[in-house]
Structure 1
Amino acid sequence: MPIDMSTWTGRTDPEDGELGLRWHQVVQPADQANEEGIMLLGFACDEGVSRNKGRTGAYQAPQAIRKTLANLAWHHQEPIYDGGDICCNDGNLELAQYRLGEDVCRALRQRHKVIVFGGGHEVAWGTFQGIGNYLLQKQQAGATEGTDAEAPPSRPAPRVGIINFDAHFDLRNPPAGQQSNMGSSGTPFHQAARFCQLQNWPFRYACLGLSRTSNTQALYDKADRLGVLYKDDTELTHQHLEQTLNELQAFIDQCDHLYLTIDLDVFPAAVAPGVSAPAARGVPFDIVEQLLEPILAAKNQAGESKILVADLAEYNPRFDIDNHTARLAARLAWTIARAIR
């Protein structure tokens, strides 16, 4: 199916030549990808939020984020491609997540970095499936190396660090009974933990910006059992910033790869009104920006960004005011893209 590039429009400044470019003049459809770059994917979905009893509207988010991003100035180096949207129109969230995972895995195999625009935070389980399957394929490829005369070298389990800026843990257990396999926007990191358990991988999860009023004690207890690094919104202040940065850096250093996911409801409602669950308090943008610095700067031994995939979740255009939240999402995507390539 051809990729709809009609959203990528905006101002042009031909008098400034190559130095006057904006995103809409540079982004290419994925079917024209002939060198490594950044792959943008959309996950148009409200089903997870609906199942989690939240207010819907995030389905329209991927196109709204593209539209705002399109007019931003181009200060990047490597090519950026648009891989189109996975759309969940029939309530079959599990199939949509599987398809997103396939697209993420394919893009990683093609040596792209990936940025995904959700959708509700159920996008995270689709994204993590893609990362997990990509790393499993790398493990299996490594296991077939070697000759008949020597055993192939054993590969240690990959250490994938999930860093989630979010007012919620999203560690809920799926419902019991016949629907136990049905997730929601509240379950993605429970599902990721289960994936890691089945593969004998360590589960490394950091959740920053929690609203204690929005997470039950059961979720805090579960996070403690799983060894989650977490910080409440009340802890993410300038006073405690140095300590948080030190703990975050230690977490990053223990990871081979990073998956960065930002739920826009981590920001105050005045900054991000267009989300499924607005935050009464939230975390100021400048604090989040400083916490992002070591994440975006993290490099592996080959000198490449540790981040494999980043996604943005829970933008809800239906409740946005004067595109405040769209501009925030686009600014975050712009910043992440510039850092990982």
Structure 2
Amino acid sequence: MSQTIVVDIAPKPWTGRSDGTTAEHLRWHHAVQPYSEQAPAGGCVIIGFSSDEGVRRNKGRRGAADGPDALRSALASMALTEPLRIQDAGTVAVRGEELEVGQAALGAAVSAALDSGHFPVVLGGGHEIAYGTYLGVADSVLRTPDTRLGILNLDAHFDLRGDPIASSGTPFRQIAEAELTAETTHRYSVIGVSQPSNTTALFDTARELDVAYQLDDECGIGDREGVDSFVTDFLDDVDIVYLTIDLDVLAASVAPGVSAPAAYGVPLETVQFVCDRIAASGKLAVLDVAELNPSLDIDNRTARTAARLIHRIVTKHVRLNNPPTES
């Protein structure tokens, strides 16, 4: 079931700190190889999505298009405790205002990775990445009519706007509409919603669409039991999971390099706990990370934090219980 992944920008060699060439000195840049259709199933495939067109349409601060390369750079020197199969397929780039074309291309890339039995990790890019990633899951062999998809969004925003033009603020409304059209079922849940950052209309939309959510001030370190219960309920209700991390879920002191820094935010400890639970569930099919804006970052703080979360998820990821098999 090997699949071709088509991108706009070919992968570049990864470089980083090197203390030696033996296994005990292993880092990401030693492990990452260019994507190959002949690679055995079961590895991680990195796919970049260079876009901030959705952010522009949502009247945000541009710069997230440079996020994929910044995340690769932040990951490169992270140490690995054991060898992992990690491939870089390159980057899908949105040209000009052609967001929908780029989202379709990203969807095809994600589908190809999933149908090859790999774990796609998509590096954004604005949160318009979410609709592209969803298209990839929806078109993959994993998504049968009876498969209930769970989307867990770590985010200060619902991103459920009903605007006529798609943006970084509309992807989960688009997904809900696509699921209704396809007559499939999904669960959309959000951890970290900031009340001051979401209008009453958006909360009403969330209730209408049966969106489960936890507010950011319900996600403190002392709220671990409630967060754990929320995640357990989510996992028990779905068959496969798409995890999306919008970095503005974190406090501005931790993640300043985003379009909309959070005045309050969810503690990194809580976000990491949620990521660990999802990674270990055996249901995680795809991950994307959105909204890193390197031009707004301070000392690469946001990129390094995001890279640590990606590192945790990839190294702790338990392969899908029923992955695609070779035909």
Aligned to 2:118: 112
Kept in 2, the 8 Å contact 1:165–1:263? The answer is yes
Aligned to 1:157: 146
Structure 1 position 32, deviation (Å)? 6.3
Which stretches in structure 2 are left out of the alignment for 5+ residues? Answer: 1-7, 319-327
SS at match of 2:229: helix
Aligned with residue 49 of structure 2, among 39, 43, 46: 43
Aligned to 1:318: 295
Aligned with residue 250 of structure 1, among 233, 236, 246: 233
Structure 1 position 240, deviation (Å)? 2.8
Superposed CA RMSD: 1.5
Aligned to 1:184: 167
Structure 1 position 288, deviation (Å)? 1.3
Structure 1 position 269, deviation (Å)? 0.4
Structure 1 position 33, deviation (Å)? 4.8
Code of the aligned partner of 1:18: A
Which deviates more from structure 2 when the two are superposed, residues 308-317 or residues 233-242? 233-242
1:23 paired to 2:12: no
Kept in 1, the 8 Å contact 2:54–2:127? The answer is yes
SS at match of 2:140: helix
Which deviates more from structure 2 when the two are superposed, residues 265-274 or residues 26-35? 26-35
Code of the aligned partner of 2:29: H
Aligned to 1:309: 286
SS at match of 1:31: coil
1:67 paired to 2:55: no
> Using the alignment, how far apart are the partners of 1:287 and 1:184 within structure 2?
28
Larger Cα-atom Rg: 1
CA deviation digits over 1:124-174, x for unaligned, max 9?
0000000001147x63xxxxxxxxxxxxxxxx5211100000000001112
Kept in 1, the 8 Å contact 2:9–2:91? The answer is no
Aligned with residue 329 of structure 1, among 300, 306, 313: 306
1:11 paired to 2:17: yes
> Using the alignment, how far apart are the partners of 1:19 and 1:67 within structure 2?
21
Identity %: 45
> Using the alignment, how far apart are the partners of 1:286 and 1:76 within structure 2?
24
Structure 1 position 238, deviation (Å)? 3.1
Aligned to 1:143: none
> Using the alignment, how far apart are the partners of 1:264 and 1:239 within structure 2?
21
Kept in 2, the 8 Å contact 1:33–1:81? The answer is no
Aligned to 2:315: 338
Aligned with residue 87 of structure 1, among 59, 75, 93: 93
Aligned to 1:149: none
Aligned to 2:4: none
Q: 1:222 to 1:246 in 2, by over 3 A?
A: same
> Using the alignment, how far apart are the partners of 2:30 and 2:66 within structure 1?
23
> Using the alignment, how far apart are the partners of 1:274 and 1:291 within structure 2?
22
Aligned to 1:212: 195
Number of aligned residue pairs: 310
> Using the alignment, how far apart are the partners of 1:5 and 1:21 within structure 2?
19
Kept in 1, the 8 Å contact 2:52–2:63? The answer is yes
> Using the alignment, how far apart are the partners of 1:32 and 1:157 within structure 2?
29
Which stretches in structure 1 are left out of the alignment for 5+ residues? Answer: 140-155, 176-181, 300-305
CA deviation digits over 1:92-142, x for unaligned, max 9?
000000000000000001000110000000000000000001147x63xxx
> Using the alignment, how far apart are the partners of 1:89 and 1:183 within structure 2?
16
SS at match of 2:184: coil
Structure 1 ranges of 4+ moved more than 4 A:
none
